[in-house]
Structure 1
């Protein structure tokens, strides 16, 4: 009889333990207020990048290693995505454990609900900082006779895919000179298609937004004489005043065998997150990034500096990033 009572007690205790566990008695897997998924005290951060053939993905992998080595209890992992626009839409889902690559102009469009985000602003996006310039390059064949932006009128010009950042920049620059896409024979082509079209003589010029030197333009220039069309300084000043997500940029002489430097503008690649990510976590990640750029195994590392972290940024900074950058003496735009 005693044995049966003891056995019944053991069974009862076991059932009680199972019920408590099922009702949430455990502590594993809760995200808490940390801004990142936690397990055993470790915070998991997803770094949204771009395609595996582009710059964002390999650079993101290197930045993830920097964070893992320099921020306690953080496990960051870079993942391939469709890049800027897709990354902004993912952030809109309310995940506070994400850091994402994007362009400064795309971040502005997303925050304001313009162009590809028309009517659907994503007001939770916060800046961590700029990384490197992605130059607005107007490339024309010498045979086209195009030397100025005004010369594009009536010519066959690739302005990038619809809804792309390149497309938006082309419209901005044409507007700066009193034109619209209706003033050119517009072609909506990607970089490769644009340069192939110029090589074949089917396209006179193309807007290409990418870090310089751009491989596609180098390959074109090796077989087809080209001109890089510059912008006048007063037009650059006007554009920066009207649209602060742009920054002035000089394409140095020698690039694409240029004899003289060319003045143009750029948007910047940048890192963003959501306003809900923990302030101390973002502070530590921002500090780790900008104080360990020498350990970034990518050629774009030379451009990643705290002093240029605000270049082209027109959206609000995350409080954690703002605190670090202000400590580093960076002048941030008023949000």
Structure 2
């Protein structure tokens, strides 16, 4: 305890140089310890998203291990990637499909390579589906032509990928932005025709529609999936089994990619190591962190072939015997 107190005092003294006092939060994880010169901000997403409760679950679990994060709502992956790129003390949830554009300076990130973004640990797989009231007679993606379709926050990943899907299907829907929770209520009330979202399955906002209205949840045709993959090689084809949503009688075809928690390359290596080790050492992450965290396992780190891993995270994977993609 004396050694710990002396170490914290020394860090506080260093932080006070230049008449600016930076708060120091010690974080300890069993055999590993990490010191951060400022609280780590954890960017997630808005109400009705899957990122927000997942992030809150991670933060609560880490707090029980002595590591404290300040959870912040955002518009989702794109804002998170930009925030992480700009701040050494920020981590965030991110869809690999969006991270592909961020690190390459393409798509939504055209002209700006997010060179400071590094991966920490896997979250879960995201796929895209659509919900509409059965009375609307909308049964396929092509039926969305000219319809009002909610796509989540403006310029967020769901909107970005929806625009590509609309292009390959040669349709022109009317795009409506907003938090998924608000958009699901608009579908139920008949104020918009459909809601397109991407998240862990079952997608919370789409389940909200299916559970509270006579609705249909569907995806893409095989031809639309193939066309999407030609334009977006960072995605993969996926199938959502029948019965995933209330009233869903057949399998749904769509596209998907994984989500990862990412950090700035200048996040202290000890902090990145401690966060990664604590989360990926959780026994039964679905119950200890959040139900959507079932895939938050060290072995799923190989699902990321887009974002370089943070050296602190790599240290954990090396210790765990996980061979990361080259």
TM norm structure 2: 0.74
Quote how far apart the aligned CAs of 1:115 are.
Answer: 4.9
Q: Distance in 2 between matches of 1:312 and 1:149?
A: 29
Quote how far apart the aligned CAs of 1:322 are.
Answer: 3.8
Q: Distance in 1 between matches of 2:64 and 2:266?
A: 24
Q: Does 1:142 align with 2:134?
A: yes
Cα shift readout 1:6-62 (whole Å, capped 9, x = no counterpart): xxxxxxxxxxxxxxxxxxxx763547xxxx986788513514133584544553344
Q: 1:29 to 1:303 in 2, by over 3 A?
A: farther
Q: Does 1:28 align with 2:12?
A: yes
Aligned to 1:259: 249
Q: Trace 1:35-184 onto structure 2 (pairs within 5 A).
A: 43-44=35-36, 46-50=40-44, 53=47, 55-64=50-59, 66-67=61-62, 75-82=67-74, 83-95=76-88, 97-177=89-169, 179=170, 183-184=172-173
Q: 1:227 aligns with which of 216, 231, 241?
A: 216
| Structure 1: tracts of 5 or more residues without a match | 1-25
Helix, strand or coil for the counterpart of 1:120? Answer: coil
Q: Distance in 2 between matches of 1:232 and 1:312?
A: 26
| Structure 2: tracts of 5 or more residues without a match | 1-9, 16-21, 27-32
Aligned to 1:13: none
Q: 1:39 to 1:173 in 2, by over 3 A?
A: closer
Contact 2:220–2:253 (CA under 8 A) maintained in structure 1 = yes
Q: Distance in 2 between matches of 1:312 and 1:39?
A: 30
Q: Which structure has the larger Rg?
A: 1
CA RMSD, Structure 1 to Structure 2 (Å): 3.5
Helix, strand or coil for the counterpart of 2:197? Answer: strand
Contact 2:148–2:193 (CA under 8 A) maintained in structure 1 = yes
Number of aligned residue pairs: 298
Q: 1:63 to 1:246 in 2, by over 3 A?
A: same
Ranges of 4+ aligned residues in structure 1 off by more than 6 Å? none
